[in-house]
Structure 1
Amino acid sequence: MAQSLHFPLLLIALCSISECVQRQYHFINEKKTWTEAQSYCREKYTDLATVDNMNDMKQLMTSVNNEQIWFGLQRTGVYNYNWSSGDPVLYLNWGSGQPAGSDNCTYISNGLWYVMPCITSLSFICYNMSRGLVFVNQAMNWRDAQSHCRQNYIDLVSVRNQNENQQLEKFINNRSLSGSPVWIGLFGDSWQWSDQSNSSFRYWDTNQPDNAGGIENCAEITPNDLRRWNDIACNNPFPFVCHEDKLIVIQQNLSWSEALRYCRQNHVDLVSVQSVEIQYKVMNVVKLASTEAVWLGLRHSCALGIWFWVSGETVCYQNWAPGYGTSEEDCEPTVRSGAVQSGGDQTWISHPETHKLNFICRNY
């Protein structure tokens, strides 16, 4: 007899604002080179540790000794621009001839973006959830500005689209600073995480990375009080930290109901995306998929005319592609379920549940 699938009938009405832990860290007290540590982590866990934010950093530090420690950051030959906040880089508004040079940070002037050495002192703009944009009329280098924003607000400001860029330009002009250079949260570097994550979080020590001798291509956690990061030669033998992903892409093509059953039998459940933070985690792993979209734990109720997560929560945070996610879904000939696109902006779409797609299970 076919096993029936049971869904929670009682939907949680309040939206949770807590962030679920998406990975678990494992301290390995064996001294290995960076490459040896990487191989060990990939065999035993997922990879050398990736750090997305200060919460991750604090969690990682709870289990390690006060010594030099490898984690998953390595210098590559590929130069990329990233937002300090970890937001994906979906929009750029460079001035003429920009960006020029390398290892530079970004300022805005008259709505256009330019780069200059990060050691330059400029005023800057932070943001937080309650006040929005916050202008700091103190001249600091980019990294000190970043630290100031993280300690007092959330981070240096990110700009995700043209509308936000125009709002930022207006905000600056209203303070009679038109044309003045002001730091924003965009920086460029050639560092990449071992697991190919797009995390842009950095926690460098003062005057680091400096690539002394031109051979310092791996990052370590220093044994000083702040446990900031330093670049060093990769052949040094140190203990290290691995991570185990809490989200996993299953590269099997199954219907939504089959995917749900698989996750509940082999992991915990299909993933619920209840916040922008979890959406970023999904965006990191969904690039491993072999189908154009990947099932989420998102289901449409034809009887109630609503979308809900199979974990029981209502859909509070939403990331639908235009034209999707309405309450008037076509329920014929079959119920529709939610998926995230594996390319483009990785927004959500709906498909008949009989479609065969990869899917994301959660282990937490």
Structure 2
Amino acid sequence: MNDMNELKKSVNDGRVEFVWIGLHDEWQWSSGEPALYLNWATGQLKGRDYCAVMKNGEWHDLPCNDRRPFICNNTNTGLVFINQTMNWRDAQRYCRQNHIDLVSVRNQDENQKVKKIISDNNSSGSFVWIGLFRDSWQWSDQSNTSFRYWKSGQPDNGDRGDEKYAVIELKAKGQWHDFSCTYHFPFVCHDVFVLHAVFDQENLTWSEALRYCTQNHVDLVSVHSEEMQRRVMNVVKRASTAAVWLGLHNYCIMNMWLWLSGETVCYQNWAPGNGTKPENCKLEKRKGAVQSGGDQRWISLPETHKLNFICSRY
């Protein structure tokens, strides 16, 4: 309620009725990406089943505790079909520990590739977990506060069942409603990104660092902008190794560097001679790190090097 009172004081000027806040009820990928492309089978999403499977290229929602085979995404080998039955959370944990994550399906082309690997490996024709899940009413910064301040009768999900996002009604004691994302309202931002530098324990390989971050925080850090690079630079000055792991990996066969989210590297801060395709993809698997000295440029290193690393908390 202290946060609510501060927010109301900052925006309640008598002219604004509703304000977007960062609470939403939505499907998202295990990697943290929003689900923009959807391919649900007819008749799905009428119940309260919160994890997704694929069958014949179409998606179904099933109880997350069902035991199904699943597909992991691996940066170096591509899609990996795991012919073991696990519930969705155990499948997610397995993929993160042994590969990268449960597979994301972000467009029709990726859907066809996942459909094909299921067809090639799943002769029984059973449902197969993908990385899509729904966690009701969570904050966009992934914080886990359970505070809610709904107006009486809210959330009601509307007549069309598409009210998945929360607003504050400033003229009703600041209580909350759910609305469709198609409405246009003012909104309130705040800066919640926190870096957690791991400098005080045994140095880890890139895969070990990734496992540590996903189990204890959110992920190895991605650096998408000059602002984020400045934050990283302030942190790595305290490192005990000459470089510090980032969430940056080389998808060698496509001659691409990617962040763990699957995003391509748009903002670039490579040291000279780095950021190019290795001459031999099989010779050594390369990952991205940031130098802890000098001008803190990015460098490419074999993933078996043991370094400090940085996790993102939100």
| TMscore range, shorter length | 0.3 to 0.5
Give the TM-score, by structure 1 length: 0.37
Higher RCO structure (Cα 8 Å, ≥6 apart): 1
Give the TM-score, by structure 2 length: 0.43
